[in-house]
Amino acid sequence: MDRLIMSRIFSCLFIEHDLRYVAAAVLVLAMGATLTIRLFSRVTRRRGLEKGIWLFLAGFIGGSTTWATHFLAMLGYTTGGIAGYEPGVTLASLAVSIGGVTAGLAISAYGGRSMLLEAGGVVLGLGLGAMHYLGMSAYEVQGEIVWRLDYVAMSLLAGAFFSAVAMNRAARPVTRFCRYGAVAALIVAIASVHFIGMAAIDLVPDTTLEVPQSVISSAVLGLGVLGLMMVLLALAAASYLIDASTMREAVERYRQLSLQDPLTGLPNRSAFQEELSEASVHAVGLGARVAILSFDLDRFKEVNDVHGHLAGDAVLRTIGDRLASVISDGEFVARIGGDEFIAMTRRYYGRADASRLAARMIAEIVKPIEWNGNSLNVGTSVGVAILDDDVEVEDLLARADVAMYRAKETGSNAVCFYDASMDRAVRERNVLAMDMRSGLLRGEFQLHYQRQNDTFTGAVVGFEALLRWNHPYRENVPPSEFIPIAERSGFIVELGEWVLREACREAASWRNPLSIAVNVATQQLADPRFPGLVQDILQETGLDPARLELEITETGIIADHQRALQTIRHLKSLGARIAMDDYGTGYSSLSMLLAFPFDKIKIDRQFVDGVATSAQSAAIVRSTLILASSLEIPVLAEGVETDEHVNFLREEGCVQVQGYFYGKPVPRTEIEAIVNAVADHRPDQAKVA
Distance CA 482, CA 18 (A): 75
Nearest CA among 396, 440, 436, 439 for reference residue 418: 396
Under DSSP, is residue 202 helix (H, G, I), strand (E, B) or coil?
A: strand
Contact 233, 61 (CB under 8 A): yes
Q: Which of 638, 641, 644, 672 is catalytic?
A: 638
Paired with 341 in beta bridges are 295, 335
For residue 346, how far is the Cα from the chain centroid? 34
Nearest CA among 502, 512, 531, 594 for reference residue 248: 594
Amino acid at 168: N
Contact 688, 458 (CB under 8 A): yes
Q: Per-residue DSSP letters for 20-57? A: HHHHHHHHHHHHHHHHHHHHHHHHTT--HHHHHHHHHH
Distance CA 81, CA 76 (A): 11
Nearest CA among 313, 356, 307, 306 for reference residue 335: 313
Contact 294, 383 (CB under 8 A): yes
Under DSSP, is residue 376 helix (H, G, I), strand (E, B) or coil?
A: strand
Distance CA 563, CA 174 (A): 15
**How many Cβ atoms are within 10 Å of 456's Cβ, its own excluded?**
14
Residues 6+ apart with CB under 8 A from 218: 74, 75, 83, 84, 85
**How many Cβ atoms are within 10 Å of 594's Cβ, its own excluded?**
10
Specify the DSSP element, H or E, that contains 666: strand 666-667
Q: How far apart are the first and last CA of the chain?
A: 73
Distance CA 507, CA 513 (A): 8
Contact 638, 585 (CB under 8 A): no
Respond yes or no: is residue 638 known to be catalytic. Answer: yes
Distance CA 435, CA 552 (A): 26
Distance CA 334, CA 620 (A): 18
Catalytic residues: 638
